[in-house]
Amino acid sequence: MSDSAMQISQVHPPRSRRLLKLILLAAAVVALVALGGWFNPAFLTPENGLAILRAAAMSGIVAMGATFITISGRFFSLALGQTAMFAGVFMAVLMAQGLPFGLAVAVMLLAVVAIGAVQGAIISMGANPIITTLGAGALLAGLAGLTTGGRNIAIESAVVEWIGNGRILGVPTQTWAFLVSVAVAWWVINKTRFGRETILIGANRATAGASGLNVSRITILVFIIASLAAAMMGVFEAAQFSKARVAGFGAVDFDVIAAVLIGGTAIQGGKGSPFRAALGAVFIATLQNYMLLLAWSSGVRTLITGAFIVLIVAGFHIAGRRKGA
Amino acid sequence: MTLLKNPLLQRVLLLVIVYAAMAASVTNFGTTGNAYAILESSAMLGIVAAGLAVNMMAGELDLSVGSVAACAGLVAIMMSGHGLVIAIIAAVVPAVLYGILQGYAIARLQISSLVFTLGTFIGIRGLAYVISDERTLSLALSDLGISMALRERMLLIFSPFSLLMIGVLVLTGLLLRYSRPGREIFAIGGSRKESRAAGVPQTRPLVLSFATSAGLAALAGALASLKGGSATPGSYETVLLAAVTAALIGGVSLYGGRGSMLGVLIGVLTLQVLLSGLQLLGAPNWAANLATGLILLAFLGVDLVNGQSPVADAVRRYSLRARA
């Protein structure tokens, strides 16, 4: 079988295998929860469960957007944490200027769309996605400093207060937003023409381009989607404390990347599922929460996250090559 | 006029312009004292950039250099009681071994180095927090002589640290140009497939390039921490960004097979002159981020047009057609 034909055929793995991956991942989450509860009763309380879901929601929402980047074959963005920070800060500054909440969000989202589009455009010209987003991230951190003078900005608004701490049917707003974005991402990837196109340019960019897909347009859209997801997280983060902070988004990109990879999204593109990435985010949040309850230091947690990524990347890579050979 | 088309000369010109602009707007910028300060603050960046540039020339990218530098800094401070040489060896040798392992894994798995080193970038940072127990480590008072010796001013504008940086750049430049392993690195960076067809070994140059990037990052981190007198596990987070930017300014291509160490030196100095100037102008610390990010994106554009990217191919085709 020719190289391209093989890759296209992998776009549709048998339903049973896809289901198996999902079940395996779900089993891992359940096992982790059971193990956690066994060793530490405080782990299994409903309050802690909601805390995990809220933490998972934050990186999970961003992971939904980041999945698009990875599926389209552009690896990752290292600017999503800074995009979230910039979005929160920019919205807070606009509201401090007296703009109502809706208008501030609209203006902020326009800026974020532009940020994503510019990165996507540079990358679609063939630039290295990791380095481009690294530069864009530094630029955004600088812009956030520029708009605030490096100070945290307080937000005084009942709506924002509710977005950050409100509960619907006893479940935090963040979690609802997470569920909705999982559904939307799943629908877009699996049921729309754009989703199919994203998978195809990830599976084989040259073939996709040759068969008439507009690779640049799709790449730009993919980065806009990821930036919007990051902005959503930024708004939630700022709303939770009614304050937009200009620091503290350093680990976001790491958690997001870990979630996407654990979800089994192929790093070379063309394969992946938002649903599994969401489960990946829950897994990471559970693991982080568990290690936190064990009073393990953030260093150990970071070390384990990094080791996880290396192992998973290498493991999937070897497994993928076996299958291909 | 043809002289102006020499890419290296263009970059020297850029450095002179940036320096002159800063000298015109900041008082006392053009003094030897300030030149010493700029060289001193370029030293760490220069050594990291030298290693990373070797990596880029091989067509790869080691994202973990900042984390490695932080770890090495901590180890060097811990071992400083045994003297400067032991401290540096203790910091650099494990890093070189790690680089060899990482390069070997990447070569054998034929995996994208961006993806693989992203994991080590995160993991090694965690390791830095673990070995330091999340504390800042400082040089013992009795060992402060090491710090003084590294920054001692000599030859008008130099210090042992900045002279070492220049030595590292010259040595790696010569090895790249005149040794067989150096040519192999260029060959696999220029074109993987053709170099393999021509019989160039693929694993050895990759291992060598990752050992160089990790080893030099460790050397830089160890020296900078010893000079500063303390090391924190969260330090050197921005050095990857700065080193890539400096290498790009210097004409090293992210597409591999292009660049020179002289260019890297010019790139490092240009970036540092600009950042020092901004600092002396009283710009807040986010301005450095803003400036570096902007410059990186701008030179990514330059690399897109000059390197082996699709855009460059399109430009070449177009200019050929225009000439015909």
Tens digit of pLDDT for each residue in A245-254?
A: 877 777 788 8
Q: Which two tokens stand for residue A86?
A: 């910039």
Q: Is residue B75 part of a domain?
A: yes
Which has more pLDDT, A107 or A147?
A: A107
Angle at CA of residue A106, ends A100 and A112, nearest 5°: 135
Domain of B124, in residue numbers: 2-285
Confidence at A17, pLDDT banded by 50, 70, 90: low
Residue B95 has pLDDT above 90, yes or no: yes
Q: Is residue B49 part of a domain?
A: yes
The 10 Å CB-count burial string (b at 16+, else e) for B84-94 is beebbebbbeb
Q: Which of B290, B294, B306 is the best substitution to test chain A (most A C-beta atoms within 10 A)?
A: B290
Going along chain A from its start, the domains and CATH numbers come out as 3-324 (1.10.3470)
Shortest CA distance from B64: residue in chain A: A306
Cβ–Cβ below 8 Å for A144 and B114 = no
Q: What is the largest CA-CA distance in chain B?
A: 73
Confidence at A229, pLDDT banded by 50, 70, 90: very high
**Residue B233 DSSP code:** T
pLDDT at A4: 45
Q: Is residue B238 part of a domain?
A: yes
Comparing CB atoms, the residue among B237, B294, B300 nearest residue A122 is B300
Angle at CA of residue A231, ends A229 and A236, nearest 5°: 100
Tens of pLDDT along A47-101?
888 888 888 888 899 999 999 998 888 888 889 999 999 999 999 999 988 889 9
Q: Is the confidence metric ipTM above 0.85 for this complex?
A: no
Comparing CB atoms, the residue among A122, A143, A317 nearest residue B290 is A143
Cβ–Cβ below 8 Å for B123 and A299 = no
Q: Which of B55, B297, B299, B309 is the best substitution to test chain A (most A C-beta atoms within 10 A)?
A: B297
Which has more pLDDT, B215 or B118?
A: B215
Q: Which pTM was predicted?
A: 0.86
From CA B245, how far away is CA A264, in angstroms rounded? 32
Number of domains comprising chain B? 1
Non-local CB neighbours of A143 within 8 Å, separated by 6+ positions: A86, B290
Across residues B274-298, what is the average pLDDT? 88
Q: Is residue B314 part of a domain?
A: no
Comparing CB atoms, the residue among A268, A306, A318 nearest residue B122 is A306
Q: Is residue B308 part of a domain?
A: no
Mean pLDDT of chain A: 83
Nearest-Cα distance to chain A for B246, in Å, is 12
Across residues B2-18, what is the average pLDDT? 83
pLDDT at A152: 84
pLDDT at A310: 83
Nearest-Cα distance to chain B for A241, in Å, is 23
Q: Is residue B45 part of a domain?
A: yes
Q: How many CB pairs under 8 A join A and B?
A: 157
Q: Which of A78, A82, A85, A139 is the best substitution to test chain B (most B C-beta atoms within 10 A)?
A: A139
Chain A residues in contact with B237 (beta carbon < 8 A):
250
Cβ–Cβ below 8 Å for B293 and A138 = yes
Residue A1 has pLDDT above 50, yes or no: no
Which has more pLDDT, B242 or A264?
A: B242
**CATH assignment at residue B110:** 1.10.3470
